[in-house]
Structure 1
């Protein structure tokens, strides 16, 4: 049986600090292949190299993963400041219209960290440039030292809305997650429903109201230890099921 093809949006990257490349984290591909049961496909994050309409036909779903670069504040009507960090304008120009197209079509998407923020911006929301600078907020950034296991260790709970899609998916009102981000949601887009929060009030889980397809997105990094983690596994499994449903529907239309 054909496995659903999932486009993983790549990031601009320099091999040996000089050779331009588009790259995606191995953990995302592993989670999609081993937990979602899908075929991962890295997508160059440059609108001049790919056609959104063609991507929508080739792929059955998309993962918008984390990245060093942040969404440019011009995309949500604000001025750039040093606090906003570095940017990847090519990725902005590809992902934001792609997200809107997927939501409209009902094509499954999963946003992770920067991807979570991209989904909010694509749907008309705004971002804080630095969560840790806000009164009463915690430092959500990646620990500067330690092994990968230490950096991706579970650090705080996320509490879900009672009866919401994340509560139903996880089978629990609260779960433990890692945290490796500096920015976060300021104002949710008009259709963006915040379905989970960190203890300091930071939005951590969202979905799009009245969307015909899978739109769950998270601020944490579920790709870490996805096969064994009791929070990551149901998220990637549900995403895989949604992509299989989309692929089956597309096949029926063709035949």
Structure 2
């Protein structure tokens, strides 16, 4: 019996500063295969090569990954500043309409870091270009030095809404997560439910209110150590269940059934 397919949104890179490539972190594929129980398929997120209707037909669900480039501020009505960093407008052109289409259809997605920010922008929200520059906020960026283990180590708590979706999924109101992001939610999209915060108030966990499918999004990186981390594993397991529901033509995964 074949596994359902999860399209993993890829990012553009230059190998050896010269050779252009679409790539995705192996830990994303490991989490989808080993924990979600689905077949990972890397998607070149560029409208020259793929279209949203094709992706919706080909894949049963989507993993919206992290990535160094940020969503272009024109997508939420703001001007570019130096603080906004690098951009990937080809990815914007695929992922933003893909999010809206998945919400409309009830097709599942799990969003991580940049993906978390894409979901907010797709639903009408905006972003701060640099969280650490805001009064009272901590530095959420990846440590510049150290091993991968040190960069992905657990660095702060996330507190979930009592009785909410993430509380129900995790079985706890507070969990420890890593943090490797510079931007964050400024204005929440009109259907975005913020269901978890960092100690400094930064939104860390959301879903789309009223959506018929799985739309969970997190600002941290649960793909790291996903098979063993007590926060990552239930997230990817629930996503796998949602993808199987969709692939089996069952009713879309009802996110409210996760509520505590």
**Displacement of 1:52 after TM fit?**
1.1
Q: Distance in 2 between matches of 1:138 and 1:19?
A: 36
2:162 alignment counterpart: 162
1:81 alignment counterpart: 81
Q: Does 1:229 align with 2:229?
A: yes
Q: Kindly report the root-mean-square deviation, in angstroms, between the aligned alpha carbons of the 2 structures.
A: 0.7
Show CA shifts across 1:114-160 (max 9, x none).
00000000000000000000000000000011000000000000000
TM-score of the pair, normalised by structure 1 = 0.97
Unpaired runs of 5+ residues, structure 1, are 251-255
> SS at 2:29's partner residue?
helix
Q: Distance in 1 between matches of 2:52 and 2:186?
A: 28
After TM superposition, the structure 1 = structure 2 runs for residues 51-200 of structure 1, keeping only pairs within 5 Å, are 51-200=51-200
Q: Does 1:27 align with 2:12?
A: no
Show CA shifts across 1:51-101 (max 9, x none).
211110110000110000000000000000000000001000110000100
Q: Is the 8 A contact 2:160 2:166 kept in 1?
A: yes
1:244 alignment counterpart: 244
1:253 alignment counterpart: none
After TM superposition, the structure 1 = structure 2 runs for residues 42-53 of structure 1, keeping only pairs within 5 Å, are 42-53=42-53
Count of aligned pairs: 250
**Displacement of 1:240 after TM fit?**
0.2
Q: Distance in 2 between matches of 1:202 and 1:136?
A: 10
Q: Distance in 2 between matches of 1:188 and 1:2?
A: 38
**Displacement of 1:243 after TM fit?**
0.0
Q: Distance in 2 between matches of 1:16 and 1:139?
A: 30
**Displacement of 1:45 after TM fit?**
1.1
Q: Distance in 1 between matches of 2:164 and 2:216?
A: 11
Deviates more, 1:108-117 or 1:9-18: 9-18
Q: Distance in 1 between matches of 2:78 and 2:126?
A: 9
> SS at 1:249's partner residue?
coil
TM-score of the pair, normalised by structure 2 = 0.95
**Displacement of 1:166 after TM fit?**
0.2
Show CA shifts across 1:176-219 (max 9, x none).
00000000000100000000000000000000000010000000
Q: Is the 8 A contact 2:51 2:94 kept in 1?
A: no
**Displacement of 1:48 after TM fit?**
1.4
4+ residue runs over 4 A deviation: none
Show CA shifts across 1:11-53 (max 9, x none).
0111111111100110000000000000000000101110211
Q: Distance in 1 between matches of 2:51 and 2:235?
A: 28
